């Protein structure tokens, strides 16, 4: 059984650029969620994907978008990068349902300069 | 809006001590609570999951309790070791609409265990 894997581990982008982060969910998990963790803060919910559709979103603007593929892997896309987008981006996978356990990847550290 | 608070923000203890980390949440309509460990610059490792119907869970030297009605959870670490040094995060899972459920996190407690 493989865990949640994210790529790349580190990334540096210039303000205004676009970025794509990738996540492979744990084997058998059909739900993927993305979180943003600024330095010294707890992770904040960005959105969740189930059956290739977004079915929940936190307080993030539309320039944060995502995809989920038939194999349950996922992408997070951020357009028009801002300096405040610098953070650790975490992907979590789980089974669908209200009381399931979330498993997280190692994260992608994004720095916007 | 759910808010999760963790006290203390930082804690330093000598090796071998028992310690308690606290977590409180404002809305008791949760399905479960998870405690995570985070090493610097790394992802989250799930330590314990407590369902809303449970009172406590144990794993090795770790014991987590949940009092859903009062909005509180504690993580007890017995016989602390330098390898326990990390940031500990608690998160509650609740319904967020459209069939989705999200975790709301506290800011964490940074634990340092001094040899």
State pLDDT tens for residues A30-89. 999 999 999 999 999 999 999 999 989 999 999 999 999 998 999 999 999 999 999 999
Numbered residues of chain A with Cβ closer than 8 Å to any chain B Cβ = 4, 6, 33, 35, 40-45, 48, 50, 55-56, 58, 88, 90, 92, 97-99, 101-107, 109
Which residues in chain B have their CB less than 8 angstroms from residue A56's CB? 96-102
A112 neighbors A55 (Cβ within 8 angstroms): no
pLDDT of B2 above 60: yes
pLDDT of B85 above 90: yes
* Strands B100-105 and B86-97, bridge-based pairing: antiparallel
Instruction: Classify residue A97 as exposed, middle or buried by CB count within 10 Å of its CB (0-12, 13-18, 19+).
Output: exposed
Q: Among A93-97, B9-13, B91-95, whose mean pLDDT is lowest? A: A93-97
Q: What is the pLDDT, as a whole number, of residue A28?
A: 86
CB contact under 8 A, B49 and A35: no
Q: What is the pLDDT, as a whole number, of residue A98?
A: 80
In B, residues 56-85, which contact A (CB 8 Å cutoff)?
none
What's the mean pLDDT in B35-60? Answer: 96
Using CA coordinates, name the residue in chain B closest to A104. Answer: B44
B10 neighbors B80 (Cβ within 8 angstroms): no
A23 neighbors A4 (Cβ within 8 angstroms): yes
How far A60 CA lies from chain B's nearest CA (Å)?
Answer: 14
CB contact under 8 A, A43 and B42: no
Q: Give the integer Cα–Cα distance in Å for B41 and A104.
A: 13
pLDDT of B89 above 70: yes
pLDDT of B66 above 60: yes
Helix (H) or strand (E) segment spanning residue B56: strand B56-59
What's the mean pLDDT in A85-95? Answer: 96
CB contact under 8 A, A43 and B106: no
pLDDT of B62 above 90: yes
Burial A60-96 (b: 16+ CB within 10 A, else e): eeeebbbbbeeebbbbbebeebeeebbbbbbbbbbee
Q: How confident is the model at residue A2 (pLDDT cuts 50, 70, 90)?
A: low
Q: What is the pLDDT, as a whole number, of residue A96?
A: 83
Maximal C-alpha separation, chain A: 39
What's the mean pLDDT in A22-37? Answer: 93
């Amino acid at each position: 059984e493989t865990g949640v894997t994210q790529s790349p581990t580190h990334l540096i982008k210039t303000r205004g650029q676009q970025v794509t982060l990738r996540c492979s969910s744990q084997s058998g998990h059909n739900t993927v969620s993305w979180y943003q963790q600024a330095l010294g803060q707890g992770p904040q919910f960005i959105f969740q994907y189930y059956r290739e559709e977004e079915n929940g979103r936190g307080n993030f603007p539309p320039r944060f978008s995502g995809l989920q593929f038939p194999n349950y892997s996922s992408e997070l896309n951020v357009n028009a990068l801002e300096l405040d987008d610098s953070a650790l981006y975490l992907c979590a996978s789980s089974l669908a349902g209200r009381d399931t356990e979330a498993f997280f990847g190692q994260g992608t550290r994004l720095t916007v300069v | 809006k759910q808010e999760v608070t963790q006290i203390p923000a930082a804690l330093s203890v000598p090796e071998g001590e028992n310690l308690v980390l606290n977590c409180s949440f404002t809305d008791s309509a949760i399905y479960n609570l998870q405690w995570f460990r985070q090493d610097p610059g790394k992802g989250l490792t799930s330590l314990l999951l407590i369902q809303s119907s449970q009172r406590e869970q144990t794993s090795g030297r770790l014991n987590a309790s949940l009092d859903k009605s009062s909005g509180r959870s504690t993580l007890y670490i017995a016989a602390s070791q330098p390898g326990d040094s990390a940031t500990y995060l608690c998160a509650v899972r609740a319904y967020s609409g459209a069939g989705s459920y999200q975790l709301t996190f506290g800011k964490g407690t940074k634990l340092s265990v001094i040899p």
